[in-house]
């Protein structure tokens, strides 16, 4: 091949080679060194987020939660509705959780905030998921844990309604995410490393399945494998501005053309897709 043809080929393939070569490199980075006997997932520890990963929380809870949190901030900080909304969103973008900002800057008691904002009457009637996802979770080999920034009472209500409790080995909620006397919920990488240690598994044998890119980025930084669940994004990107920045996008892209950041090992639209990773 002459130099001009070789240069043209490199230009078509891009600086890092063909798509198939890039996929192969991704598998080498995100895949295990060796898979144990028993098939895909055997010997692995799966860490599943709850909201918008195992159920449609945008439909079941998020609207009511946002209202409840705004009312809580307005009442307990003595501000108007607009200021409460600005504080709530600002703390979410800065810390990854509104609660952390309220605790750090306003002395709010975490337990009181969680109890008051997660009452959510009628939640069980709104909770929904795919029957296919439920069956796929039941069939998936390996240990399975829920890791959620939600409080335990809320998480257990959702899991019981979805009939998923018997399919998981444990539930890790925000009450379990305290380190050095302070809350350290996702996306705190130190907390994720501690969870792996508590489960007696190296981070490299953990797979985090999440809808929030900031949490996946933190997990990848400590060696966990990362899977972005997109089932409940509604066919377009509906994450926070933090998520949008992490994805490297300037406009809300569709699910099909949303760029795949380097800290993602895979994007899926249903739990059954995990068997094909």
Classify 60-117 by CATH class: mainly alpha
**H-run or E-run covering 135:** helix 131-139
CATH number of 35-56+128-276: 3.40.50.1000
Signed CA dihedral, 92, 173, 104, 111: sign only: positive
pLDDT tens-digit series, residues 8-19: 444 444 444 454
Q: Can you give the pLDDT at residue 16?
A: 44
Residue ranges of domains in the chain: 35-56+128-276, 60-117
Q: Could you tell me where the beta strands, DSSP code E, fall in the chain?
A: 45-48, 143-147, 170-172, 178-179, 182-183, 206-210, 225-229, 266-268
Q: Can you give the pLDDT at residue 1?
A: 45
Q: Can you give the pLDDT at residue 41?
A: 54
pLDDT class for 210, splitting at 50, 70, 90? very high
Which range has the worst mean pLDDT, 26-30, 76-80, 130-134, 195-199? Answer: 26-30
d(CA 134, CA 231): 13
273 alpha-carbon distance from chain centroid: 16
pLDDT tens-digit series, residues 44-71: 999 999 999 999 999 999 999 999 999 9
Map tokens 């909304």 to a residue.
85
pLDDT class for 140, splitting at 50, 70, 90? very high
Q: Do domains 35-56+128-276 and 60-117 have the same CATH topology?
A: no
Q: Can you give the pLDDT at residue 238?
A: 43
The answer to whether the predicted template modeling score (pTM) of the entire model surpasses 0.85 is no
Higher local confidence (pLDDT), 257 or 151: 151
DSSP letter at 266? E
d(CA 37, CA 45): 15
223 alpha-carbon distance from chain centroid: 16
pLDDT class for 142, splitting at 50, 70, 90? very high
Instruction: Decide if pLDDT at 114 tops 80.
Output: yes
User: Residues with Cβ < 8 Å from 186, sequence gap 6 or more?
Assistant: 49, 96, 147, 149, 177, 192, 212, 214, 215, 218
């Amino acid at each position: 091949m002459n130099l001009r043809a070789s240069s043209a080929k490199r230009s078509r393939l891009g600086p890092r080679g063909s798509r198939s070569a890039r996929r192969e490199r991704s598998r080498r980075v995100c895949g295990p060194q060796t898979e144990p006997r028993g098939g895909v997932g055997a010997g692995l520890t799966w860490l599943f987020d709850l909201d918008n990963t195992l159920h449609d929380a945008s439909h079941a809870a998020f609207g009511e939660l946002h209202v409840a949190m705004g009312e809580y901030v307005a009442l307990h900080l003595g501000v108007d509705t607009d200021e409460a909304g600005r504080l709530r969103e600002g703390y979410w973008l800065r810390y990854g959780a509104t609660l952390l900002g309220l605790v750090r800057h306003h002395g709010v008691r975490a337990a009181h905030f969680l109890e008051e904002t997660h009452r959510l009457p009628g939640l069980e009637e709104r909770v929904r998921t795919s029957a296919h996802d439920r069956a796929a979770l039941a069939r998936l080999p390996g240990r399975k844990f829920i890791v959620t920034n939600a409080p335990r009472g809320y998480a257990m209500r959702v899991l019981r309604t979805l009939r998923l409790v018997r399919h998981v080995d444990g539930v890790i909620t925000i009450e379990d995410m305290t380190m050095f006397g302070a809350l350290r919920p996702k996306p705190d990488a130190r907390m994720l490393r501690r969870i792996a240690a508590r489960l007696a598994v190296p981070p490299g044998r953990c797979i985090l399945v999440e809808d929030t890119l900031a949490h996946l980025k933190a997990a990848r930084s400590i060696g966990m494998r990362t899977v972005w669940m997109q089932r409940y994004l509604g066919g377009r990107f509906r994450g926070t501005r933090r998520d949008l920045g992490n994805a490297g996008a300037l406009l809300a892209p569709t699910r099909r053309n949303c760029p795949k950041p380097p800290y993602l090992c895979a994007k899926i639209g249903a739990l059954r897709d995990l068997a094909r990773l």
